[in-house]
Amino acid sequence: MLPFAHLRILELAAVLAGPQVGQFFAELGAEVLKIEPPAGDVTRTWKTPAEAADTDVSAYFAASNWGKKSVVLDLTTPAGRARLHRLAASADIVLASYKPGDAEKLEADYATLSKENPRLIYGQITGYGPETARAGYDAVLQAEAGFMHLNAAAPGQPPQKMPVALMDLLAAHQLKEGILTALYHREKTGHGTLVQVSLLESALASLANQASSYLVTGHDPQPLGSGHPSIVPYGTVYTAADGQRLVLAVGSDGQFRELCFALARSAWALEDRFRTNPARVAHRAELEAMLTERIAQVSGAKLLAELVRRAVPAGAVRTVGEALRQPNAQAQLLPSAPGFPPAGLRTVAFHAAAWERVSELTPPPALGQLPATDVA
């Protein structure tokens, strides 16, 4: 049996962060009721030009809504709120992503819903915390939390937003951790709790070595393109003679020596300016220029094979489609389902000996697929 087969979750959250948490629990066996307003989750309409216009399941919506049942409730009406309260009275977890103050107006807040259900765990996502009545949007948080500044080709170059809503995904992981902790707490005490996560705090907590560098040195980290501030060569994209783009992640002096052997430039590893990582960082521009010139002279396919043989971390730059077509990516794909031919993407990326991974999951639901009157 899957670990959360006994749980019922009400998903009042929309867009990405909350729905990612909902699919996570659905993949692990929980019943997830996606409570949508009459217009539906706004991401149902977020379609690329390549998508069909006659469906309310967009690719964006499909990214986070496998394994759920859609129930439409108009929480601006007394009947909709009453129905929500009946469902919450027997639910285990509620996921919400309202702007601060809106849940209270709709009587969908933790204080209201937990009155009849003290075991309820309520996961609340906000942009900037429950005291700031400002909606949170991923692109804005990427800018405000320092990520866009760091994600530029070089100092003085335009900041760039990352191509996935990373702040949402980081907040989703924080909320999963908080809810799992709350479930453990409930097992010990019998009581539920309110778990609050903000996109801002999740983003700041994920600055990792970049934040630590500032806090330790007082110097603001500067953008390096895809390079690394304290390791060289690491992350820079090179283009080989056959057009293959590749990156290196050389984390030790031994790996650098093996790289030099693979490039038939063993003397580089003996030079004082490159022999140690601190020296390579100090002489970053010189080494990068030499690597760029040498790699452009060799076959990328042969070089990557040789680096694998020598245990030097390196990889080809792949498109999304190429990445998903790799043999070792197949386990992360959900098989297509009747009436929904595209495959889906799992949110659960771990394996456990105690249970089998779910082999199939119902596809993302049409809006109001399950009438509210059919939900016990």
Which residues are part of the catalytic machinery? 168
The CA-CA-CA angle for residues 210, 212, 218, to 5°, reads 95
**Cα dihedral 97, 102, 103, 106 in deg (nearest 10):** -130
Using only the alpha carbons of the chain, give its radius of gyration.
25
Instruction: Check: CB of residue 95 under 8 Å from CB of residue 121.
Output: no
Nearest to 169 by CA among 324, 11, 20, 372: 20
Q: Which helix H or strand E contains 9, and what residues bound it?
A: strand 8-11
Sequence-distant (≥ 6) Cβ neighbours of residue 252 within 8 angstroms: 277
Instruction: Check: CB of residue 68 under 8 Å from CB of residue 366.
Output: no
Helix axes 17-27, 166-189, angle to 10 degrees: 50
